[in-house]
Amino acid sequence: MHELSICSSIADITTRRAAGRTVVVINMRIGQLRQIVPGTLVYCWELVSADTPLAGSRISVEYVPARISCRSCEQVTEVGEVPLFACAGCGGIDVEVVSGEEFLITSLELEALAADDAGRGQPTDQGAAKGSPGEGTGA
Amino acid sequence: MGRFHRHEDGTAHSHDTVDSQDTGHSHDTGVSRATPSTAHTQATGVSSGAAHPDERAGDHSGYATGGERVEVLERIFGENDRTAAANRADFAAAGVRVVNLMSSPGAGKTMLLGETLTRLGSRLRIGIIEGDIETSLDADRLAGLGAQIALINTGNGFGGECHLDAPMVRSALPRLPLPELDLVLIENVGNLVCPAEFDVGEDTRAMVYAVTEGEEKPLKYPVMFRSCGLVVVNKVDLLPYLDFDMDGFLGNLRQVNPAAKVLMVSARTGEGVDAWCDWLSARR
């Protein structure tokens, strides 16, 4: 719901970590319990990054389902689409969320530096690196 | 333990178990200049290729050797959470308890706060941080009831945000005499989604939930309902006129937050408001 403002945080972190390099892909890990709609985030990113040094970069989302671990029987249960925070094994409700709350940038994929290509001897590097960064994403 | 799942685009991949704790540590190496071979290993080990059915999918080699992947592992809410920690430290230093009060629009937060100030104002020194996208209408309703009120209009320099975050709450603190207060109530923006995401430095969270909202909302907004220690079920004076299934609601609530305390309240008739005030007082 607040994807637009979250894009500002993503831009800040990405700009700092890229240190002037051209960003091609921003890899993110987003848990189910974060209430972020990946498609909306990707769309908002196009709006926020346009006319900035990050224009043309795209967000790639690794979506992590929510899972709970039972403190009684230690069984791990997937919470599911309609969330049920109870152990599927024993029905216990004393559970701990073990995944689904992630919300981070895991890595950045940067365009090759011209100097990097010199010693590689692979003529396709440059073209492959540039690709078509402006195209849509499948997230 | 690996985990296999499918994306909407039909591609699928597996990734290792992700412990939410792993987001907490920092990597201060700055931009780590991965060698091309390292970048290749990372590219094939993570999901970006599989997640995007573009021409690069399945061709990590050319991409990875041409570009460069740098590890970041930085939380999106890192800055908010650092500010929330600063707020929490200031609240603790001042000896004030802070309750973040959340609800959908129209559930009755402001009326309940008005009744709260009327009952507790002579016993506790109370500050209110009032969050609204626009207008001072809610703050005006609470004026004259003896509390110190700091209004945050999120439409005013904060981009019309649908929630309060830690920096917004921090901006309001100079307008409250924290050391002279016992209790600060933060009336968040009416919204069942976004406020749940943002730690603002509070000690605990409470929700006002009106019986006019239906039984199923805990299942639709589990993150909000899970984040609260107390759910105030408000407008119970309307129950005779509604088809509200209280047992169904409580069952749904227990499904997502079995530990939540529940109080039946009508801010309009005063029913249950004393119990709510006792809960707030006990939180000192």
Q: Give the residue extent of every domain in chain A.
A: 3-113
Portion of chain B with pLDDT greater than 90, in percent = 65
Could you give the CA distance from residue B284 to residue B282 in angstroms, rounded to a whole number?
5
Average pLDDT for chain B: 81
**Which pLDDT score, from 0 to 100, does residue B162 have?**
87
pLDDT digits (tens, 9 = 90+) for B91-126: 999 999 999 999 999 999 999 999 999 999 999 999
| Beta carbons of B230 and B206 less than 8 angstroms apart | yes
Is the per-residue pLDDT at B187 higher than 90?
Answer: yes
Is the per-residue pLDDT at B226 higher than 70?
Answer: yes
The interface residues of chain B toward chain A in range 4-23, judged by CB-CB distance below 8 A, are 5, 7-9, 11, 15, 17-20, 23
Does A85 contact B257 at a Cβ distance shorter than 8 Å? yes
- B79-282 CATH: 3.40.50.300
The interface residues of chain B toward chain A in range 174-233, judged by CB-CB distance below 8 A, are 191, 193-194, 196-197, 219, 222-223, 226
Asked if the C-beta of B63 comes within 8 angstroms of chain A's C-beta atoms, the answer is yes
Which of A6, A25, A116 lies closest to B76 in CB terms?
A: A6
ipTM: 0.77
**Which pLDDT score, from 0 to 100, does residue A31 have?**
95
**Which pLDDT score, from 0 to 100, does residue B283 have?**
54
- A3-113 CATH: 3.30.2320.80
**Which pLDDT score, from 0 to 100, does residue A115 have?**
60
H/E/C letters for each residue in B241-270?
Answer: HCCCCHHHHHHHHHHHCCCCEEEECCCCCC
Distance of CA B122 to the CA centre of its chain: 30
| Alpha-helical segments (H) within chain A | 3-18, 38-49, 114-117, 125-130
**Which pLDDT score, from 0 to 100, does residue B155 have?**
81
3-state secondary structure of B5: strand
Model confidence, pTM = 0.76
3-state secondary structure of B94: helix
Q: Which of A12, A62, A67, A93 to mutate to test the interface with B (most CBs of B within 10 A)?
A: A62
Provide the β-strand partners of residue B129.
Answer: B150, B186
Which of A35, A124, A128 lies closest to B223 in CB terms?
A: A35
pLDDT digits (tens, 9 = 90+) for B118-159: 999 999 999 999 998 888 888 888 888 889 999 998 887 767
**Which pLDDT score, from 0 to 100, does residue B66 have?**
67
- CA-based torsion, B135, B140, B142, B148: positive or negative: positive
Could you give the CA distance from residue B72 to residue B188 in angstroms, rounded to a whole number?
32
Q: Which residues of chain A have pLDDT under 50?
A: 117-139
Average pLDDT over residues B162-181: 95
Could you give the CA distance from residue B85 to residue B64 in angstroms, rounded to a whole number?
39
Distance of CA A117 to the CA centre of its chain: 28
Does A104 contact B191 at a Cβ distance shorter than 8 Å? no
8-state DSSP, A19: T
**Which pLDDT score, from 0 to 100, does residue B55 have?**
38
Residue with tokens 């895991």: A106
Asked if the C-beta of B163 comes within 8 angstroms of chain A's C-beta atoms, the answer is yes
Q: What residue spans define the domains of chain B? A: 2-66, 79-282
Average pLDDT over residues B187-209: 95
Burial class, A6, CB count within 10 angstroms (exposed 0-12 / middle 13-18 / buried 19+): buried
